Amino acid sequence: MKTRIDFKTEKGKFYALRPTQQHIMDAELVYKTKYSEALRYGALTTAEAVKIIETRDLWTEDDKKQVSDLLLEVHALGQKLKKETSVTKGLDLVNEIESKRIDILRVNMKRNAILDNTSESYADEQRLQFYIVECTFKDDGTQLFKNKIELISASDEYHTVLATKFIIYLISNAGEDFREGWPDYEWRKSHGLVNDHMEPIEELPEEFVQKLEKEKKAKTKSKRVKKKTVKS
């Protein structure tokens, strides 16, 4: 289990720490307080939101089946990718898997658009922001964000995106990337297309580019041979 994740951006070096028991207790108080606050302002509970989704058919059996079918397709493509030796075909499979995952997100959005606006969702977000402020630091040991206001104002910056992601890993997945065992990310990692944090690298590795070029030339040569054979 990881207790610390170090990362860096153009802004500098930073690290995220696994919340202590005291942090967890304080975070739960934030959750309960913000949950009650959201209820007072009229936000739906998750149970109420689910009832609306079901009553109005916003998430149908067809939607469920579509997501299920897409997940099966992703699994099948992943298994195929594990056996693929061609980097060109492998890259095509990786892109196809990514496209399927985007389709899954698009379908799920019908339901999540409502569930993401419940009292529980609001309280969850406030609790996460508490963890980010309290448990992410600059290289010199000072807090990365002085308070929630500073965190929110920097929400679009890359170091904030990474800080958020790593805190989620530390509190939900023992510090590990959720994508670690996905075939497409294993393939990316094995070919040097992502860094240690599964983030895409800026430029393709020279070795990978050479393999692509080699396969491209071999394919072109094969086509020429077939063309000559047909003419003969």
Which of the four pLDDT bands, split at 50, 70 and 90, describes residue 202? confident
Query: Nearest to residue 67, comparing CAs of 78, 57, 56, 75?
Result: 75
Residues 134 and 216 in one domain: no
Cα atoms in the 13 Å half-sphere on the side-chain side of 22: 2
Read off the DSSP letter of residue 1. Answer: -
pLDDT in tens, 90-127: 999 999 999 999 999 999 999 999 999 999 999 999 99
Residues 199 and 213 in one domain: no
Give dist(CA 58, CA 41) in Å, integer. 24
Q: 129 lies in which domain range?
A: 4-206
pLDDT in tens, 155-174: 999 999 999 999 999 999 99
Q: Token digits for 219? A: 């394919």
Residues 34 and 98 in one domain: yes
Residues 225 and 141 in one domain: no
Residues 227 and 186 in one domain: no
C-beta atoms surrounding 183 within 10 Å: 19
- The SS3 of residue 146 is coil
Mean pLDDT of 134-146: 97
Residues 142 and 224 in one domain: no
pLDDT in the model for residue 219 = 86
Residues 140 and 40 in one domain: yes
Residues 63 and 172 in one domain: yes
pLDDT in tens, 18-63: 999 999 999 999 999 999 999 999 999 999 999 999 999 999 999 9
Give dist(CA 20, CA 209) in Å, integer. 45
Residues 72 and 186 in one domain: yes
Q: What is the pTM of this model?
A: 0.88
pLDDT in the model for residue 78 = 97
Residues 220 and 190 in one domain: no
> Given a cut of 80, is residue 229 above it in pLDDT?
no
pLDDT in the model for residue 220 = 86
Q: How many domains does the chain have?
A: 2
Residues 42 and 155 in one domain: yes
pLDDT in the model for residue 65 = 97
Residues 66 and 80 in one domain: yes
